[in-house]
Amino acid sequence: MRITFVVGTGRCGSTMLSRALQAHPDVLGMNEFFTSLAAKGDGAFQDRPIDGRRFWSLLSGPSLTFDAIAASAFRTAEMIYPYGRGRFRPETGVPAIAHMTLPALTADPDALHDDLAATVPHWPARPVADQYRALFSDLGGRLRRTVVVERSGASLAFLPALRVLFPEARFVHLSRSGPHCARSMSRHAAFRTLLLRTEAVESLGLASPFDLGPEHGPLLPEHLAHLAGKVDIDRVMRTPVPLAAFGRLWSHLVTRGVDEFLRLPPQRRMTLAYEDILDRPEHHLGRLAAFSGAEPHPAWLRRAAASVVRTDRPPVTDPDTLSACAPGERALERQNRLLHAGNTT
């Protein structure tokens, strides 16, 4: 199966894009798949062989952060598991792939979870990338889909690993104005948690948010101490965070991501801008479908374009935020200038 990854900073129109792709009869839309796994911090991008039992544990083990968000009043729009009627509860643990990925594929995510649970643990040991390929192929066969498109928030951070694990894959860089992304991130529970956990890790001199444990709670400032244990999402949303901090996060993702994106061969990369999709949805969704290997059927294009909703937002005028986004904006300009000069997609 042809595999395409849509990478971006998150809050850049990627959820809208996922919904459009999920309506395509040939596309296996792996919505937030790698974000769901990476949030657990237990080897989503490892380069050693893994057997079926451990692979299933990676897929089905709970994500404490996503469970906390799903149990709160600040559940994000991407979390589409039927929490009120499904078998799993965030208070006791929802399988990582059930929050956002499986319910985007089927109206009965519990049944699909159980089907996979009966199969995946028996798979032989092989490199983790081959396990992912086998999973995509299995799901494609079950659901009669022939093209894989994976889209995760903040996935520019995964690009170095994905580029190595999937040398055959294609990549679409979806971008949006930095200040608008920053403002959207500032209202999003997962991004606020990420930013505060990063602050906690940096204050302790730890290498990764996944090194943060209960023993670190007493060493952290009061507003961060809960992040070392069970995350209090209500407190995350109440904690003041300058908008410019989200601008710096956006710029960090973009500047590093653009460098990685430009290392890809021209035939394996494509750019999309959120603003361009709003202006000409059928044209740009058709480009994406064709690049991914899916037929841009006119009927699908009409439905997909109709799902694109323009929301007018006032401009961000805060000078600190504009300054924080400036490095990322320059990186995007450099990317587009180089791609245009090379006459690539």
What tens digit of pLDDT does each residue of 117-129 get? 999 999 999 999 9
pLDDT of the residue at 15: 83
> pLDDT (tens digit, 9 = 90+) per residue, 83-118?
999 999 999 999 999 999 999 999 999 999 999 999
CA distance 161 to 45: 6
pLDDT of the residue at 344: 47
Tell me the pLDDT of the chain averaged across its residues: 94
Do 186 and 195 form a contact (C-beta atoms < 8 A)? no
Do 264 and 171 form a contact (C-beta atoms < 8 A)? yes
Whose structure tokens read 């730890």?
Answer: 206
**Residue 257 buriedness (CB in 10 A; 0-12 / 13-18 / 19+):** buried
pLDDT of the residue at 345: 44
Which residues have a Cβ under 8 Å from the Cβ of 12 and sit 6 or more positions away?
Answer: 174, 175, 176, 181, 274
Radius of gyration of the chain (CA): 20
> pLDDT (tens digit, 9 = 90+) per residue, 237-296?
999 999 999 999 999 999 999 999 999 999 999 999 999 999 999 999 999 999 999 999
